[in-house]
Amino acid sequence: MQREERPPEGEKRRGKWAWLAVTVIALMPAIIVGLLPLRNPRSADERLVEIEAKRAVPEDADAATIYRELFRNAKATSFLDHCPEFVRPPLFAQRLCEPWHTGEAPELASWIQDHQFIIDKLIEASAFSECRFSLSTDFAQIVSNVDYASMRQWAFLLGFAANNDIAEGRIDSAMRKWRCIIQMGHHLRQRPTRIDFTVADAIQMIGLRRLARFVMAPNATELDLQRIEAMPLPLANLWARHRSDLSRANDLPEQKMLEGFSPTERLKFHLQRRQMERAMGLPSESENDKAARDSYLQTIASARCLRILITLRRHQRETHSWPESLDRVNSSLPKEVMTDPFTRSGFIYRLRDDGFTLYSVGPNRTDEDGLRNSTFAPNSMRVVYHEDDVLCWPPELLAQEK
């Protein structure tokens, strides 16, 4: 029998040292964070005071004052619990997407009238450009300072009411409500936390989708198109600036907690957190940043597509046909508006028998014919997108979205 050859002792020792070196290198970030003093020489409380001082605005110019008044009103924060049954799925999307007359849904019209005070307060808040929801070194307090669920419900209320306005010819009133939805998103983004950005995107998309349908409706006038152009649409990609603000404020609660830890306890905390994230499939800090960025860029893409839709609508009225390509309308819009924020090249535009398709290729930067499909991964509590194009048109697909 042939004797199995064993590696020389020197080679075995070199292999052990190599594995040890790899392990030390892999753990080095956690060791540095755990054993050295906190990365920022100032305390979390000192940093918070500095950040809030830079954000300060007079109370009488702060939209957050009005929002907080609504947060304290139990009727304003629980109104969707008493929403008429026929506005729940599947009619929810229909009433939110399509104009409807009071005679078609008198109970819904009465419900909206009963909550008109919310709409009035939101429109009052939308007149302010500044909004300063306070930050904190306590994550629980950060979340409790803003009633995100109510704000999104208020956006639905505005959407229902605006569609009723459109059906009954109250165009000015609908425009104020749509502008209010857009402004709510801008207000939330003035607080540099990921959750504020995520909710801001969800709220603004409600308005942008409704505006897209109105722009393409046959009764939208040139004056209506000009009013939409004058709205504070989120057209500029300011992610680099936002990311800088987020990085300065996002770790305040963690820094505050770690200030009470010894170096050894800090090391243990970081190691255990990484182990838990790997075991549960939770997203890393960089993945959370990417998700926030992608959500933000989807909103930017939708706003830019809305401006393109306005220009396409004008072209169709003048020529009685849709252009063969976006090159025919390029000169009518700034280059920034014609640029897909995901690729920094043009949006996808294709003629169809009944019109056209307009969309962004989305975060994966792959043209998937305007499709957007996803599944929910329960292990990681994340939505996984298989196709992620950001569709702006056609309307039959928009009508399926909520």
Question: pLDDT, tens digit, for every residue of 332-378?
Answer: 999 999 999 999 999 999 998 889 999 999 999 999 988 877 665 55
300, 237 contact by CB (below 8 A): yes
* Prediction pTM value: 0.84
The first and second tokens of residue 105, run together, are 């849904």
**Nearest partner of 215 among 177, 171, 184, 173, judged by Cα:** 171
Q: Within the chain, which residues score under 50 in pLDDT?
A: 1, 30-38, 397-402
Task: Write the CA distances from 200 to 62, 134, 278, 400, integer angstroms.
Answer: 17, 16, 29, 21
| 362, part of any domain | no
C-alpha distance across the termini of the chain, in Å: 73
**Nearest partner of 187 among 174, 178, 198, 200, judged by Cα:** 200
Residue 332: burial class (beta carbons within 10 Å; 0-12, 13-18, 19+): middle
Q: How many folded domains does the chain comprise?
A: 1
How far does Cα 297 stand from its chain's mean position? Answer: 8
**Nearest partner of 198 among 302, 299, 52, judged by Cα:** 299
Q: Give the model's pLDDT for residue 28.
A: 54
| 2, part of any domain | no
217, 210 contact by CB (below 8 A): no
| 73, part of any domain | yes
| 87, part of any domain | yes
231, 179 contact by CB (below 8 A): yes
Q: Give the model's pLDDT for residue 247.
A: 87
Residue 33 and residue 336: Cα distance in Å, rounded? Answer: 41
Tens of pLDDT, residues 129-183? 999 999 999 988 888 999 999 999 999 999 999 999 999 999 999 999 999 999 9
| 330, part of any domain | no
The first and second tokens of residue 126, run together, are 């939308």
| 177, part of any domain | yes
Backbone dihedral angles phi then psi of residue 122, each to the nearest 5 degrees? -65, -40
The set of residues, in sequence order, having a beta carbon less than 8 Å from that of 276 and lying 6+ positions away, is: 282
Residue 259 and residue 186: Cα distance in Å, rounded? Answer: 33
360, 299 contact by CB (below 8 A): no
Q: Give the model's pLDDT for residue 358.
A: 97
Q: Which residue, chain included where needed, has tokens 């009727």?
A: 75
Q: Give the model's pLDDT for residue 321.
A: 95
| 374, part of any domain | no
| 349, part of any domain | no
Sign of CA dihedral 396, 96, 154, 58: positive
Q: Give the model's pLDDT for residue 40.
A: 57
Domain span holding position 85 = 30-280
Residue 398 and residue 286: Cα distance in Å, rounded? Answer: 31
Q: Give the model's pLDDT for residue 264.
A: 85
